[in-house]
Amino acid sequence: MTTSIARISANRMNAQKSTGAITQAGKNKVSRNAVTHGLFSKQLVLESENPLEYQTLLEQLHSGLFPVGILEESLVERIAVSLWRQKRLVKAESAYLSFECRSEKIASAVEREIYPAYNSSRAVSERDLAEIDYEHLQQCQDILDEYSGFSSSTPSNIAEIEILLPLTYQNLLRDADDNKVTPEQYLQGYKTFSEYFVAVVRYCREQLQDVKQKELILDVAELIRNKRAILPEKARESLAKYQVMLDNELYKAIKALREAQEWRLKCLNSVNDVGFTLN
């Protein structure tokens, strides 16, 4: 019995000689030990994930929970694993929703939703999902109004277009600039001036006629996006079950860590009590 008490006293005295890191810098350095020798880090972090983020999480937990010994360190790492997997769960949900809301998938869904009712074979493309350019539509309407009020014969040269049909002339300049040619070079693609004017009028009318259908496409696309912003029922159930499992693991690890730390402090107090009695 005497030997046992002496041993306890000696252990207490030795422990006082080496109390571990005292400064904050020293504590931070010690806290990284578990990161370097983590039990789960190699198996936990995927190739697509940043291992430094996991290390940062683990270091922050070490700094806040102050584990001592391999048991407490392993419990802190269990907490880190649960939090890391919960973070991955959120990323997985976001990735799934982003995939389902890609422009090409939305366009395909809009096509299936709209065109059976319209008995049309026209495909919906990502371009159809772009916002309507009402300024461009107004330009088309202005050009048509300009033609409706024009009673003279078709202009025979660019100078006459500029004077008699200024809006059409501006449109010609834009078309030429888009094709990186001069207005004269651009008009060479048409057999006559009249052919160019007919093409402009047809284009403007098509743009104005398509706007109602374009508005319908955008309305349906918005409804589909809103619907796909919510996980399907089966996916929600699976994620919910996984979330509950992670929450349980986190709770158990925190509880076990608290009990381990309380047990350690109780042991230290017992040693101090014995030492006080000996003194």
pLDDT at residue 274, rounded to an integer: 60
Give the Cα separation of 128 and 126 in Å (integer): 5
> CB neighbours of 97 closer than 8 A, spacing ≥ 6?
228, 229, 231
pLDDT at residue 111, rounded to an integer: 87
DSSP, res 127: G
Whole-Å CA distances, 261 to 76, 179, 218, 240: 11, 75, 59, 31
Specify the 3-state DSSP secondary structure of 120.
Answer: coil
Picking from 57, 47, 48, 65, the residue whose alpha carbon sits closest to that of residue 84 is 57
Is the Cα dihedral 152, 156, 162, 168 positive or negative?
positive
Other beta carbons within 10 Å of 187: 19
Give the Cα separation of 73 and 233 in Å (integer): 39
CB 61 within 8 A of CB 80: yes
Per-domain boundaries in the chain: 2-100+233-278, 103-228
Rg (CA), the chain: 37
**Highest-pLDDT range among 61-75, 148-162, 206-220:** 61-75
Question: pLDDT at residue 218 above 60?
Answer: yes
Give the Cα separation of 85 and 44 in Å (integer): 9
pTM above 0.85, yes or no: no
Question: pLDDT at residue 8 above 70?
Answer: no
Q: CB-based burial of residue 38 (10 Å sphere; 0-12 exposed, 13-18 middle, 19+ buried)? A: buried
pLDDT digit string, tens, across residues 190-203: 988 889 999 999 99
pLDDT at residue 127, rounded to an integer: 87
Of 28 and 63, the one with more pLDDT? 63
Lowest mean pLDDT across 2-11, 118-127, 156-165, 254-263: 2-11
pLDDT at residue 17, rounded to an integer: 53
Q: Which amino acid is at 3?
A: T
Give the Cα separation of 64 and 31 in Å (integer): 10
